[in-house]
Amino acid sequence: MADLTKAGARAKLSPWTLICYSAPGVPAAMTLYAVGVIVPGFYGAYVGLSATVLGVVLLATRLTDVLFDFGAGLLSDLTHTAIGRRKPWLIVGAVVLGAAFFVQMTPAKGSGVPYFLWGSVAFFLGWSLLNVPYDAWGSELAGDYQTRASLFGYRAAAGYVGSLTFSLIPALPLFHSTEYSPEVLRFIAWTVLALLAVTVPLALLVAPKEAPDARVKPDLRGFASTLRRNRPLQIYIGSAVLNGLSDGVFTALVFIYQANYMGFSKQIWIILVTYIGANFLALPIWSRVVRKIGKHKAWATGLFLTALCYPPMAFLPPQASSLIPMLLLVALAGATYSIANVASPAVLGDVVDYETFRTGAAKGGAFFAVQGLINKFNVAVGGGIGFLLIGWFGYDPARTIHAPLAVFGIKFAHLCVPSLLKFGAIALIWRFPLDARGQSIIKRRLDSLAARAAS
Determine, yes or no, domain membership for 15: no
| pLDDT greater at residue 5 or residue 398 | 398
Report the share of the chain in percent with pLDDT over 90: 33
Determine, yes or no, domain membership for 12: no
pLDDT above 60 for 3:
no
Determine, yes or no, domain membership for 98: yes
Q: Of the segments 8-22, 151-165, 311-325, 375-389, which one has the largest average pLDDT value?
A: 311-325
Q: What is the pLDDT of residue 4?
A: 36
**395-442 residue pLDDT tens:** 988 777 889 999 999 999 999 999 999 999 999 988 887 766 666 666
pLDDT above 90 for 335:
yes
**35-88 residue pLDDT tens:** 888 888 888 878 888 888 888 888 877 667 667 777 777 777 777 777 777 888
Determine, yes or no, domain membership for 189: yes
Q: What angle do CA 93, 142, 91 make, to 5 degrees?
A: 15
Mean pLDDT across the chain, nearest whole number? 82
Q: How many domains does the chain have?
A: 1
Indicate yes or no: pTM above 0.95: no
Distance between CA 210 and CA 84 in Å, rounded?
7
Determine, yes or no, domain membership for 2: no
Distance between CA 181 and CA 98 in Å, rounded?
20
Distance between CA 347 and CA 339 in Å, rounded?
12
**Full residue range of the structural domain in which residue 282 is found:** 23-454
What is the CATH number for 301? 1.20.1250.20
Determine, yes or no, domain membership for 251: yes
pLDDT above 90 for 257:
yes
pLDDT above 50 for 291:
yes
**179-217 residue pLDDT tens:** 888 999 999 999 999 999 999 999 999 887 766 553 444
Distance between CA 40 and CA 36 in Å, rounded?
7
Q: What is the pLDDT of residue 7?
A: 36
Contact indicator for 379, 35 with CB cutoff of 8 Å? yes
